Structure 1
C-alpha cells in the first residue's frame, strides 16, 4: 500500500494530465461542432443553466462585453443560441441555447459522462465528499490564479525569442 506522501505526489502528477486530456476533449468537441473552444464553453454555460446573462457570461469567459457580443453574433448566425428578452426586465436580454444543436452536444459528451458516472458510482460517501471538496477548492484556486494572471495593473510579459 503506497504511503500518503506517495499518493499525494501521484495525485499531483495526475491532475495536470487529467486537465490536459479534458482540454483536448473539449477542443475536439468544439472542432466537431464547428465552433471555437470559447463558443463551446459559452454554450455549455448556457445549456447547463449556469447563467443566461450576457454580462455574466462575458465575465465567466474572461471576455470584454464587446468581444462577447461579437462571439454571440457568430453563435446566433450558426444557430447555436438566440437572444431573448428577459421576462422580468424587457430592457435586458437573455441568451438561450437552441435545441437543434443541443442533442448533438449531449451525444458527443455522453460516452465521457457515462464513464465518469460509472466510476463515481463506485465511490463511497466519504470519497465523494472528499472529491467534491477537492474540486470545489480547485475551482476557487484556479479562479484566484486567473485573477492574478489577468490583473490589469500588471503589464503583459514580453515574449522572449
Structure 2
C-alpha cells in the first residue's frame, strides 16, 4: 500500500526523479511538533526542518565515508586517523588527552598508540612535566597521512562558492555549538532528554 500523499507526508511524487541525493533522505510523515511557547509549527517550517535534517544527514554520511576511505588508505582505524589529526593540531598530545578527545579508555588508546607507533606514524617521547607519562608526536609518515586528510577537506571547501564561504563558516560554527550543547544535555539513560 502506498503511503498517503498529503501536506504532512512530504508527498511530492512528481519531483522524485529529479531530487538531489540530499532530498532523497526525506522521512515523509512527521508529526506536528510544538515549539516552546505553544506556537504550532507550520507545515512550511516542518518541511524546511525536514529538508535541513536531510541535508545535515547527507553531510554526516559523506563525512563518515570520506573518513573511512582516508583511514583505509592510511591503513589505520578511523579513531587512529582522528588521533593523528588531533596530535597534528596540538603539536603533541598525551595519551590521556587523546583518550578524552576520542572518548576511549586508556587501555584502548594504549593499544591504538602501539599500532600507530609500529606503523611508523607517531612516536612516544618522555613527558618532561610527568616522568611516568609520555608525549605523542607525529613522525613524517603520520604527517603525510594528516596532510592528505587536510588536502581532501580543503578541496571540498574550495568547491564551495567563495561568495558563500562566510555564511558557511557561520553556519558550521552554529552547528558545532548546537551539537556540543545537545551532547552536554543529552542523558544517555533518558530516551528524550531534550525537554
| Band of TM-score, shorter chain | 0.7 to 0.9
Asked if 2 retains the 8 angstrom alpha-carbon contact of 1:84 and 1:95, the reply is yes
Structure with the largest fraction of helix: 1
- Identify which range, 48-57 or 75-84, moves more after superposition: 48-57
Q: Displaced runs of 4+ in structure 1, greater than 4 A?
A: none
Structure 2: stretches of 5+ with no match in the other structure: 1-42, 190-195
Matched, 1:48 2:89: yes
Structure 1: stretches of 5+ with no match in the other structure: 155-161
Asked if 1 retains the 8 angstrom alpha-carbon contact of 2:84 and 2:146, the reply is no
Cα deviation, 1:58-111, whole Å, max 9, x if unaligned, reads 122111111111111111101111111224444431111112232243235424
Shift of 1:50: 8.0
3-state SS of paired residue (1:8): helix
Matched, 1:115 2:156: yes
Corresponding residue pairs, total? 146
| Pairing partner for 2:123 from 79, 82, 106 | 82
Tell me the equivalent position of 2:74.
33
Matched, 1:134 2:134: no
Matched, 1:144 2:156: no
Shift of 1:117: 3.4
- Root mean square deviation of aligned Cα: 2.8
Matched, 1:105 2:160: no
Asked if 2 retains the 8 angstrom alpha-carbon contact of 1:120 and 1:128, the reply is no
Query: Which structure has the bigger radius of gyration?
Result: 2
Shift of 1:12: 1.5
| Pairing partner for 1:20 from 61, 64, 68 | 61
Asked if 1 retains the 8 angstrom alpha-carbon contact of 2:99 and 2:106, the reply is yes
Output the CA distance in 2 between the equivalents of 1:124 and 1:57: 31
- Identify which range, 101-110 or 40-49, moves more after superposition: 101-110
**What's the TM-score, normalizing by structure 2?**
0.63
Tell me the equivalent position of 2:102.
61
